[in-house]
Structure formats: C-alpha cells, structure tokens
Amino acid sequence: MFYLSAATAVISIISLFPVDAFKNIGEEFENGFNVLFLVLCGGIIGNCVCKNSKKAATVSFCLLLADVMYFSFANYHFSLLFIVCVSFLLSYFVQKFDVLPSYLSCLVICVTIGLVSGSLYYIFDSLINMTAETVSGNGALFGLFDNLYLMLFGTQFRDIVLTKSYSTAQIVGGNIVSGALNVFKATVKNPTVSTSYFLSGKYFLNIFVTVGAYLAFVKKMDLREQVAFSSAALIAILFGKTELFLIYIICFNPISYFEYLAIAFVSYLTASFLDLRLGYLENGSLIELFKYSNNMLYFIIAGTVLAALTYFLFRIVITKYDFESKMILPRVTNKLVKALGGDENIMKVENGSVIVSNPNLIDVLKVDCEIHENTVTLYYDDYLLLKEYY
C-alpha cells in the first residue's frame, strides 16, 4: 500500500508540470493504476497467505488475465475493492494445492470470473445508468452513490454523471454543454450552480472528511499500518485519489464505510446549500482547490465542522465495533481471553508470560496460571494460543 501510494504521489506531482509529455504520463498512470494495484495486491496477498512466491505470482497472473477479459467487455478495469477480495479468495484456495494444480485451478477460476463478470457487465451498466437517472439534478444523492459505486465498479458512474446531462446541460457561448465537469471547464471564471451541486462536495470529502477519518483511525494502528495509512490519506488530500484510503477504512472497520457514505451525502448537501461553486477538472484535490478557490471562508468553516463530525462519529463506531484482526479469535482462544479479563485487560504477551492491566479481573477457575502482580504465567500451550494473536 505504501509503495503504491508513493508511486501515485510521484506520478501525480510530475503530471502537474505544464508539459504535455508529463501530463500524458499522469493520464497513462491514471488509466493503468488499477492494473498496477492488481499485480501488487495479488502478489503481496498471495505471498502473505501462501508463503510461496510462485503461488503469489500465480494469483497475480491469473487475476490479471481475468481483468483483461473483463476490460474487453466493459472497457473498465476491476475496482480496487473487488481486486482485494478476489486476491484473498484465490490465495486461500491455491495454498491448499501444489504449485501446478494451484496454477491450473486458479487459471480456470479466473477465466470463469472474467467471463462471468464480463457477461454481467451489461447488467452493471444498466444499474449504473438507472442510478444516474435517479440522481439526476440531485448532487447529494450523487455524492452518496459515487462513493458507493467507486468501490464496486470504479469511476464509471462518476464519469457518466459528470460528463453527461444527468448532472446538468446548459447553453454556454451559444453551444449546449452537458455534464457538470464540462460546464465548469467552460465557465471556470464564473462557475454555475451545477458546480456547487455536483463538484464542490468532493473537496469536503477529499480534504476535511479524510482528515477526520484519519485522526479517528490512526490511533488504533501499529507503526507499520500508520505509515501506509498516512500515505493513503496524503494521496487522498493532495491528489484526490481516495480509493486506497477507503480500502483501509473498509478493511479496518466496514461499518465506518457506511458512515463515510452518509457523510458524503451531507458533504454534497452542505456544498449545494452554501452555493460554494468550487469546481475541479481532475480529482478535487487540495492542489486544485488553490487553483480554483473562491468563498474560502465558508468552505473552511463548514469543512472544519465536517471533519469534527467525521472524527466523533467514526470514534463512536470504532470503539463500539472493534474489527481488529486480534478480535477475530478461535473459540478456544476466545475463552482464554475472557478468562484473563477480556481483550482490554491484556496489555502485552511476551517472554512466556502475559502482562495484564488488572489482575483482579482474571477468572482463576477457568484458567490455570500463576499471578504475580500484573504478570501472569500460563501453561506453554495456552501461551502459544495467545501469542499467535497478540
């Protein structure tokens, strides 16, 4: 995740320079971003699950083949969330077989996925167009479905709404211009109201909501996760690419993603209510904000409120519904954890013993142990059960 974020940052910075060659590099990277993510994600997840580089390469290659087949139907690549899910499923499947059988079975599965998803594309396309008609003229609904479909189908829904009459159609300079993006491009110096409905809310999401969500999550992560999560957050803020950041949110706490969708609705609603008319031509990044900024006072005040709202709502859900990996325990391990006073009572597991915050919470009738102040010595087998997850 960190390396992909770093690559995104480098290419995005290069594409900012007013040189056609550099801009082409940025566009090509934008088009190939999902493919690069697919190869890296399949390889990394495959290697982590299978502990075998050949099987990891098998997962990457077969998933790439499935994506190529889907692209031939849809002219779009798999979404990042779909790539992550399929990478995990394939990795857990191929780890059970030798290299050759795993390669053949993985190949069959991925060809099937490519053909089936490609065949279903027309259903996806109909659903996307039907949703585009539903959100026609309603920026708040667009904000909600845009971020929902971004993780399911990629940018197809956004591309359709923002470049066609689903968002707006106006006469500019004697010509009919369709789509909020195209209208803003033609009226940069004097943006129309469609800009506040369909474009301005993305600035709230990419900058302030990202900051609020980042502050809520980062305290729950270890150092390695913090580095990767921070890089994804910076990419969202500086360059407007939120997919990596949202994948982290979904993986860390799925319920928070639905909160994010609700906040997206509120963000676009706020932008239209304040009539901010802050447009963009690329991804709604912090860099573009300074380029096309106006009404900044209201924007900063409203954005700060949204950031605070995001932080407190996310903290409530994170605290109440903890989806950290160590909480997903086998039944035997879970009983042991409860006997030791619960997950919050366990501070550290190392050197053959367990450090607890309150030894009075330990149920000595359910666990064989020796207690000396805050140090608990378990049977070696019980210690190994805990050590695997703590």
Query: Domain residues of the chain, as ranges?
Result: 1-132, 135-323, 326-387
DSSP run (H or E) holding 375? strand 375-378
The residue among 179, 175, 245, 167 whose CA lies nearest residue 206 is: 245
pLDDT for position 90: 86
The distance between the two most distant Cα atoms of the chain, rounded to a whole number of Å, is 85
Residue for token pair 């050197």: 351
Confidence of residue 268 (pLDDT cuts 50, 70, 90): very high
* Mean pLDDT value across residues 158-173: 87
Q: Is the pLDDT of residue 203 over 90?
A: yes
Region at 178 (left for phi over 0; alpha for psi -120 to 50; beta for the rest): beta
The residue among 170, 161, 164 whose CA lies nearest residue 193 is: 170
Separation CA 348–CA 9 (nearest Å): 37
DSSP characters over 43-54: HHHHHHHH--HH
Separation CA 277–CA 295 (nearest Å): 8
In terms of C-beta density within 10 A (0-12 exposed, 13-18 middle, 19 or more buried), how is residue 3 classed?
exposed
Q: Is the pLDDT of residue 81 over 70?
A: yes
User: What residues pair up with 355 in beta bridges, in sequence order?
Assistant: 348, 375
pLDDT for position 325: 47
Average pLDDT, the chain: 83
Between 12 and 232, where is the model more confident?
232
Q: Is the pLDDT of residue 2 over 70?
A: no
* Mean pLDDT value across residues 60-83: 86
Residue for token pair 């934008």: 30
Confidence of residue 22 (pLDDT cuts 50, 70, 90): very low
Between 216 and 36, where is the model more confident?
216
Between 318 and 213, where is the model more confident?
213
Q: Where are the beta strands (DSSP E) in 107-174?
A: 169-172
Separation CA 77–CA 270 (nearest Å): 32
pLDDT for position 111: 86
CATH of segment(s) 326-387: 3.30.1360.60
